[in-house]
Amino acid sequence: MQGSAKGKVVFIAGASRGIGQATAVGFAEAGAKAIYLTARSEAALGETRALVEAANPETACAIAACDVTRAAEVEKAVTECVARFGAVDVADANAGYLGPWVKIGETDPEGWWHNWEVNLRGTYHVIRFTLPHLIASAKRWAAEGGSGGHLILLSSIGAQLLMPGASDYQTSKHAINRLCEFVQTDHGADGIKCFAIHPGGVPTELGKQMPEAMHAYLTETPDLAACFAVWLASGAADWAKGRYLSATWDVGELAEMQNRILQDDLLVNRLRAQV
């Protein structure tokens, strides 16, 4: 994907470690013009910025402390990104939360809802405040014969599962998949390309919050999800916009299934009933 992000400005929420950090490095290696990094800790973001600068000294990089659950902070960060770098061509809503796995009848109400505050409300805030700039990007790149206006939402295979004790996390990720579809329905005509992605089983700090028995499935590296995000933002998979995709899938095989996926409207949330 070398050179595939040339000229693009990338906004990443949740970029201080793990998948978000690897994604920032991935876009730098792909030649991004600039990368704007946010997370709650500005100090932690400094490490990611250093990695970005080492990966590509020509990629400009800025950081800002930002809590995605606070609309005003996200709006301010996006505004500062545009003021500094002139655009948002790719937005990556990577910030997430996973609390203890507890059966619904034993959950702490505030803790249960916090999953939704971070995973869904936080994702919505990134969507809401980057969309006007992504729409402008899509139009500008289309006029130049390229592809812009890419929005990547971090979902999970958990969105498709029913694991005892994971009701807060898995339902919030399921909702992200549906939100992705709504973004595409509302703004597809504006040139937006939105994707909800499963990053693979990655042994991040968040992933290790799962019960220990699940750790055997954490076999991927953050680089896999990062490279998948860079590939999506290259325009190679624009035909799959509005869908749930997994970084663990072979992209060549996915491309070969394009006609079937579109014809049967696959990789979306639907209820099918036989009469």
Distance of CA 218 to the CA centre of its chain: 19
9 neighbors 81 (Cβ within 8 angstroms): yes
208 in catalytic set: no
Which of 8, 97, 124, 173 is catalytic? The answer is 173
98 neighbors 158 (Cβ within 8 angstroms): no
Residue 99 has pLDDT above 70, yes or no: yes
For the chain, what is the HEC assignment?
Answer: CCCCCECCEEEEECCCCHHHHHHHHHHHHCCECEEEEEECCHHHHHHHHHHHHHHCCCCEEEEEECCCCCHHHHHHHHHHHHHHHCCCCEEEECCCCCCCCCCHHHCCHHHHHHHHHHHHHHHHHHHHHHHHHHHHHHHHHHHCCCCCCEEEEECCHHHHCCCCCCHHHHHHHHHHHHHHHHHHHHHHHHCCEEEEEECCCCCCCCHHHCCHHHHHHCCCCHHHHHHHHHHHHCCCCHHHCCEEEECCCCHHHHHHCHHHHHHHCCCCCCCCCCC
Could you tell me which CATH class the domain 9-264 is placed in? Answer: alpha beta
For 188-212, how does the pLDDT look when each residue is reduced to its tens digit (9 = 90+)?
A: 999 999 999 999 877 666 666 666 6
For 150-181, how does the pLDDT look when each residue is reduced to its tens digit (9 = 90+)?
A: 999 999 998 998 999 999 999 999 999 999 99
- For the question of whether the overall pTM of this predicted structure is more than 0.75, the answer is yes
Residue 29 has pLDDT above 80, yes or no: yes
164 vs 154: CA distance, rounded Å: 22
Which of 169, 193, 241, 244 is catalytic? The answer is 169
169 in catalytic set: yes
For 107-116, how does the pLDDT look when each residue is reduced to its tens digit (9 = 90+)?
A: 999 999 999 9
| Residues linked to residue 93 through DSSP beta bridges, in sequence order | 13, 153
> Can you read off the two tokens belonging to residue 197?
């992605």
The answer to which of 126-140, 148-162, 214-228 has the lowest mean pLDDT is 214-228
